[in-house]
Amino acid sequence: MNSLAAITCAALIGLAGIMPAVAASGGSGSSGSGGSAPPQCRQGLVWDKKTQRCVRAQSSNVPDKDLLEQGRALALAGHYDDALTVLAAVRNKQDAMVLTYIGYSHRKKGDTDTGIGFYKQALAIDPNNINTHEYLGEGYASAGRMELAKAELGIVEKLCGNKECEQYEDLAAAISGNPVD
């Protein structure tokens, strides 16, 4: 199993805790303790916990919560196209977190303006979402719109402070030109 397959497999099953172990194992396919590796889903498929098998993302009965979890994990792992495929299968298109990770995937693919548009939609639904404000600020910073990025930093500070707040620290780093990836 290559590292992409290991990451995708772990993300799709929602077992982020095993992802480093699977990837670090070199893809042996076993847990080292006699157990077997979790099932591997191909691109465009998602893990259905109910049926315990991979199913088509677009025509599945996988709950939106599980699709969001899998799409988020894929986005954060850097598999933006796969994340967009999974997130497109979510039935509730007015979920702030779904919109946030659609925006995140577009922004990370280099389409900052599209990402910012999705972040604004998400904030219209949930105006106090710290992650969305962080990502919006990072989008503004990457586009050179520093005043808007700093305004988002101010909002993040009001929501969670500036000490021991990961979102504040990450956005401040992006504004200073040292983004955390």
Identify the CATH number of the domain in which residue 114 sits. Answer: 1.25.40.10
Residues 84 and 152 in one domain: no
Q: How far apart are CA 127 and CA 34, in angstroms?
A: 48
Residues 60 and 120 in one domain: no
Residues 119 and 78 in one domain: no
* pLDDT over 70 at 1, yes or no: no
Residue 94's pLDDT is what?
95
Residues 85 and 97 in one domain: no
Residues 123 and 74 in one domain: no
Final residue of a structural domain among 45, 65, 91 = 91
* C-alpha distances out from residue 94 to 74, 90, 91, 131, Å: 20, 10, 9, 17
Q: What is the DSSP string of 50-100?
A: TTTEEEESTT----HHHHHHHHHHHHHTT-HHHHHHHHHT-S-TT-HHHHH
8-25 pLDDT tens trace: 444 444 433 323 222 322
Residues 52 and 113 in one domain: no
Residues 176 and 120 in one domain: yes
* pLDDT over 80 at 26, yes or no: no
Most confident segment among 50-54, 72-76, 149-153: 149-153
Residues 143 and 161 in one domain: yes
Enter the pTM of the model. 0.75
pLDDT-above-70 percentage for the chain: 77
pLDDT category of residue 39 using cuts at 50, 70 and 90: low
- The whole-chain average pLDDT of the chain stands at 80
59-86 pLDDT tens trace: 668 889 989 998 998 899 999 999 999 9
pLDDT-above-90 percentage for the chain: 57
pLDDT category of residue 49 using cuts at 50, 70 and 90: confident
Task: DSSP letter for 18, please.
Answer: G
Residues 130 and 143 in one domain: yes
93-107 pLDDT tens trace: 999 999 999 999 999
Final residue of a structural domain among 34, 57, 91 = 91
Q: Under a CB-based contact definition with an 8 Å cutoff, are residues 16 and 73 in contact? A: yes
Mean pLDDT, rounded, for 129-147: 97
Q: Is the sign of the CA dihedral 14, 18, 19, 20 positive or negative? A: positive
Residues 86 and 104 in one domain: no
Residues 77 and 162 in one domain: no
Range of the domain at 51: 1-91
Please tell me the total count of domains within the chain. 2
Residues 100 and 177 in one domain: yes
pLDDT category of residue 130 using cuts at 50, 70 and 90: very high
Final residue of a structural domain among 42, 74, 91 = 91
Residue 52's pLDDT is what?
78
